[in-house]
Structure 1
Amino acid sequence: MKKIILSAMAVMAFGFANAQEVKYGVKGGLNLSSLSGDTDGMDLKSKFGFHAGGFVEIKFSEKFAIQPELLYSTQGTRFDDMEVEGYKTKTCFNFDYINVPVMFKYFAVEKFFIEAGPQIGFLTSAKARVKVDQLNIDNKEDIKENFESIDFGLNFGAGYEFTENIFASARYNLGLANIAKTEAGDDSKVHNGVFSVSVGYKF
């Protein structure tokens, strides 16, 4: 992971040194996230969230650009209708991350681009919300100690520039790191997965 991050930083430095154009911007949008891996047969469902933050687009040719970003992102998963002592429960895992993607953009045709790149995420909050409607129970619990503080993944996406300033994009984050904290002898693995749709403005 360190090698990939250092390589990304080196490429950004090269991009700044050779940039033809540098633009700053803001972006935000919706997330559709879930978890995958060793989930004990739970029927996990996607949950909606959002992301918002800023970016720098370093364009060093007509076709290629690098775009480091800093985003606040709400993620997680939910699972309904689990039975506990005869009662049906509804559970939602709510994660808050500060994500730092570094995207490599290729403008395939005018205004349309594809992008890919690594992402590191820092977990700032993790809470579980459990509801039992039959008992009028709605509890929240801090579960951050059960998850790793750092996530790592790869992003793939595409977008379209409507004007010189306004654009929209769609992206999928494939989580590669195991975010579940495990004890000795437990090789369980859990990964984030997030599909996001964004709109942004470049200054």
Structure 2
Amino acid sequence: MTNKVLAALLLSLGWLQINAQVTIKPGVRAGMNLATISNMNADTKADFYVGGFVSIKLASFYTLQPELTYSRQGAKSGLYDFSGDYPIVIDPQMYSRSRNIELQYLSVGVMNKFRIVEGLHAVVGPTLDFKVGDNFTSFYDDPIGVDMAIVAGFGYTFPFGLTVEARYKQGLIDIFGNDYDDDFYSNNGYYENNVLKQIKLNQVIQLGAAYSFDF
């Protein structure tokens, strides 16, 4: 009986010690987006992101960080094809227009932060982005309502809770939901080399800061 009580006590102490190492801190993050869209002859557009997160430190070298972020993306002077997908275009320039492209997403991410040295960390993780706005009302197609992306970057956290961070966010789904890697396009030299008929992906550089609250 005494041995069972002692074993239970040791297990309880071990459980408490493990859980004492786990720290949970909420925080906010905001910064600048430098966004563009691949295969649209587009320049980089400056905009912003803002959001919140919960930092769950599970070990001295690893932190799990769920995030919810409002992100304004798109591209500057993007070239968009007004002609649709019909194989009758002779000169794409006759059917295209150049204008700024605005896409707004509510991004749900799960970041994995790995400590490199004191203060310095690497971050990587996926996001699921839900479109909440765009300026495509006069375009032939509308962007689809969801995107997936992979995020990677580095950051430095100061002792008082402020973090400065640089990330790169690469979209994984064509913003119009198209997949041009099919038999028709791959066997047609014109469409294979036509920049307007290639998959268009969100690409974003994020430069910003975050602050963790220590309650």
Q: TM-score, normalised by structure 1?
A: 0.74
The counterpart of 2:45, out of the listed 44, 47, 55, is 47
Residue 110 of structure 2 is matched in structure 1 by 102
CA–CA separation in structure 2 for the residues paired with 1:81 and 1:64: 42
The counterpart of 2:204, out of the listed 185, 194, 203, is 194
Within a 5 Å distance, the mapping from 1:127-138 to structure 2 comes to: 127-128=135-136
Residue 169 of structure 1 is matched in structure 2 by 165
Among all aligned residue pairs of Structure 1 and Structure 2, give the percentage whose two residues are the same amino acid.
30
Deviation at 1:164, TM superposition (A): 3.4
- What secondary structure is seen at the aligned counterpart in 2 of 1:146? coil
User: What is the alpha-carbon root mean square deviation over aligned residues?
Assistant: 2.9
Within a 5 Å distance, the mapping from 1:121-160 to structure 2 comes to: 121-128=129-136, 141=137, 146-160=142-156
* Aligned residue-pair number: 169
- What secondary structure is seen at the aligned counterpart in 2 of 1:147? coil
The structure-2 alpha-carbon separation of the partners of 1:98 and 1:142, relative to structure 1 and needing over 3 Å to count, comes to: farther
State yes or no: 1:27 paired with 2:29: yes
Q: 1:65-95 CA deviation, whole Å, 9 max, x = no partner?
A: 111100001000122799x88xxx7510111
State yes or no: 1:179 paired with 2:181: no
State yes or no: 1:93 paired with 2:95: no
**Is this contact kept in 2: 1:146–1:181, CA < 8 A?**
no
Deviation at 1:126, TM superposition (A): 1.0
Residue 115 of structure 1 is matched in structure 2 by 123
Residue 136 of structure 1 is matched in structure 2 by none
Residue segments in structure 2 that go unaligned for 5+ positions in a row: 1-17, 81-92, 186-197
The structure-2 alpha-carbon separation of the partners of 1:109 and 1:182, relative to structure 1 and needing over 3 Å to count, comes to: closer
CA–CA separation in structure 1 for the residues paired with 2:156 and 2:140: 37
CA–CA separation in structure 2 for the residues paired with 1:125 and 1:173: 19
**Is this contact kept in 1: 2:141–2:176, CA < 8 A?**
no
CA–CA separation in structure 2 for the residues paired with 1:111 and 1:183: 42
State yes or no: 1:73 paired with 2:71: yes
Deviation at 1:144, TM superposition (A): 10
**Is this contact kept in 2: 1:25–1:200, CA < 8 A?**
yes
Whose Rg is larger? 2
Residue 56 of structure 1 is matched in structure 2 by 54
CA–CA separation in structure 1 for the residues paired with 2:140 and 2:212: 35
**Aligned AA (1:124):** V
Deviation at 1:50, TM superposition (A): 0.2
CA–CA separation in structure 2 for the residues paired with 1:193 and 1:201: 25
Deviation at 1:142, TM superposition (A): 5.7
**Is this contact kept in 2: 1:125–1:144, CA < 8 A?**
no
